[in-house]
Structures are given as structure tokens and as C-alpha cells.
């Protein structure tokens, strides 16, 4: 995983147990089947075959056998292959290949609750609430409303509206909650955005009624 517009680190996982001289190796990275991302040709960086979008965006750490992809964007997501060839009696022979799957992450804004209501709240009237979060990636899993009173918390799973910006590919999400105004008890309402198992969740500032 790499954060949007930050550097992604892709490893060849090459142990080099034979301690082969890098001047005898050809190392190249490709994305998918056709795009050449980086090439080190017998110790020298070579740019002739690179796909245009990777020119001046990559660096290879030959000590760690790791490729740095600068300013990683959502279009860079996908599978990368590292291929290492050894110059053996003049003709190159593949001695190592490995694959990396790159995922891009962009932080969502903290979910924010807004209410569509004017005037005083009357008991048993309906309360319309909106929760929204924006500018994130990948698409979130779910938005949950948490309603707490008298030491009990209720979870409400409501439909989540998702839109994706055509240019940036970042997501904006909203959810609506329609409940009756609680009577004679203090109530806290929060909104929780689930981003997936490895990314965790974001919670709004609670709204007290």
C-alpha cells in the first residue's frame, strides 16, 4: 500500500545469495504485460524502453532490490513484476522473478453530521440527519449510525450514497438518518465510516440532543 501522491516501495525480494555483481545483471520492472517501469542494464540505468508515464518517477535501490515509485497515483494501482537476468556466456538468462500488487490509499475527511432542521425540536417530531465524508480512496465498505442513550448504543445501517470524481477518482460518501426526536433522555448520535479490515474506521464528532 502507498498513500496518494507519496512514494510507493516495491520489492524484488531478491536474496542474491550468489553475491552476483550488479554489472552482470539486467533488472527490469514492468506493469501488466506491456509497460516497462524501470530498467537497470548491467549496472547502468536505461531509459529507452520506459513507458512515458514512468520517466523521471522511479529510482532503484540496488542494495535493497527495491523500486521507489514517486508521486504514486490511483492510475498506478495494479500488478508489477520484477525480472532479473544474469549475463551467462553472453546470453541473458532469467534467474529471478517476483510480483507486487500496489494499492493506493487516500485519507477520507472526518465524517461530519449536519441536520436539516429549523426552529425548536418538538418531542416525537422527525429529525433528518446527514453524514458525509469526502476525498478518500478506495471505496469504503459501509456507513453506520450509532445512537446512544441510557448506557445503550443502537446501530443503524442505512443506505450509503457514493460518488466518484471523474478526474481525481476520489470518493465522496453520504448517508441519511430519519428518526423521531428522543424524549426525556439525553441522546448522542455519531456516524461511523468503515474503510475495510486493514484501514479501520473513522467516526464523527457526536451530536448531542
Instruction: Kindly report the CATH number assigned to the domain that includes residue 128.
Output: 2.60.40.10
The pLDDT of residue 76:
94
Instruction: Indicate if 76 and 122 belong to the same structural domain.
Output: no
Q: What mean pLDDT do residues 56-83 have?
A: 93
- Whether the pLDDT of residue 27 is over 70: the answer is yes
C-alpha cell at 7: 512514494
Helix (H) or strand (E) holding 127: strand 126-136
Instruction: Indicate if 114 and 90 belong to the same structural domain.
Output: no
Instruction: Indicate if 126 and 200 belong to the same structural domain.
Output: yes
Residues contacting residue 118 through CB under 8 Å, at least 6 positions apart: none
Residue 164 in 3-state DSSP?
A: strand
The pLDDT of residue 149:
84
Instruction: Indicate if 71 and 85 belong to the same structural domain.
Output: yes
- Whether the pLDDT of residue 117 is over 80: the answer is no
Q: What mean pLDDT do residues 114-135 have?
A: 82
Report yes or no: 76 and 43 within 8 Å, Cβ to Cβ: no
Residue range(s) defining the domain that contains residue 179 = 109-208
**Distance (Å, rounded) from C-alpha 152 to C-alpha 37?**
54
Tell me the longest C-alpha to C-alpha distance in the chain: 88
- Whether the pLDDT of residue 22 is over 90: the answer is no
pLDDT tens for 77-112 read 999 999 999 987 778 889 999 999 999 999 999 999
- Whether the pLDDT of residue 55 is over 70: the answer is yes
**This prediction's pTM:** 0.81
**Per-residue pLDDT band at 119 (split at 50, 70, 90):** low
Report yes or no: 100 and 31 within 8 Å, Cβ to Cβ: no
Place of cell 438518518: 177
**Distance (Å, rounded) from C-alpha 179 to C-alpha 185?**
15
Which residues sit opposite 129 in a β-bridge? Answer: 115, 177
Residue at a domain's end among 66, 86, 105? 105
Q: What mean pLDDT do residues 49-71 have?
A: 92
Instruction: Indicate if 38 and 114 belong to the same structural domain.
Output: no
When divided into structural domains, the chain yields a total of 2
The pLDDT of residue 48:
85
Instruction: Indicate if 190 and 127 belong to the same structural domain.
Output: yes
- Whether the pLDDT of residue 123 is over 80: the answer is no
The pLDDT of residue 102:
95
Q: In this predicted model, which residue has the larger pLDDT, 18 or 29?
A: 29
The pLDDT of residue 118:
66
Report yes or no: 132 and 111 within 8 Å, Cβ to Cβ: yes
Instruction: Indicate if 165 and 91 belong to the same structural domain.
Output: no
Instruction: Indicate if 113 and 194 belong to the same structural domain.
Output: yes
C-alpha cell at 5: 501522491
pLDDT tens for 160-184 read 999 999 999 999 999 999 888 777 7
Residue 23 in 3-state DSSP?
A: helix
Instruction: Indicate if 100 and 115 belong to the same structural domain.
Output: no
C-alpha cell at 163: 460518488
**Distance (Å, rounded) from C-alpha 135 to C-alpha 5?**
13
Instruction: Indicate if 127 and 158 belong to the same structural domain.
Output: yes
Amino acid at each position: 500500500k502507498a498513500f496518494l501522491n507519496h512514494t510507493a516501495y516495491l520489492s524484488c525480494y531478491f536474496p542474491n545469495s550468489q553475491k552476483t555483481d550488479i554489472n552482470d545483471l539486467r533488472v527490469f520492472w514492468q506493469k501488466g504485460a506491456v509497460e516497462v517501469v524501470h530498467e537497470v542494464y548491467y549496472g547502468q540505468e536505461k531509459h529507452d524502453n520506459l513507458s512515458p508515464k514512468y520517466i523521471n518517477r522511479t529510482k532503484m535501490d540496488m542494495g535493497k532490490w527495491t523500486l521507489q515509485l514517486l508521486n504514486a497515483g490511483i492510475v498506478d494501482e495494479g500488478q508489477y513484476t520484477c525480472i532479473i537476468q544474469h549475463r551467462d556466456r553472453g546470453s541473458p538468462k532469467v534467474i529471478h522473478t517476483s510480483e507486487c500488487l500496489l494499492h493506493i490509499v487516500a485519507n477520507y475527511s472526518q465524517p461530519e453530521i449536519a441536520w436539516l432542521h429549523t426552529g425548536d425540536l418538538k418531542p416525537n417530531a422527525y429529525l433528518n440527519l446527514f453524514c458525509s465524508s469526502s476525498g478518500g480512496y478506495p471505496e469504503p465498505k459501509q456507513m453506520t449510525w450509532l445512537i446512544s442513550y441510557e448506557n445503550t448504543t443502537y446501530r443503524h445501517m442505512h443506505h450509503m450514497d457514493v460518488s466518484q470524481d471523474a478526474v481525481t477518482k476520489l470518493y465522496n460518501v453520504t448517508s441519511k438518518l430519519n428518526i423521531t426526536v428522543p424524549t426525556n433522555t439525553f441522546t448522542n448520535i455519531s456516524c461511523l465510516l468503515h474503510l475495510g479490515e486493514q484501514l479501520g474506521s473513522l467516526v464523527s464528532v457526536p451530536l448531542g440532543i
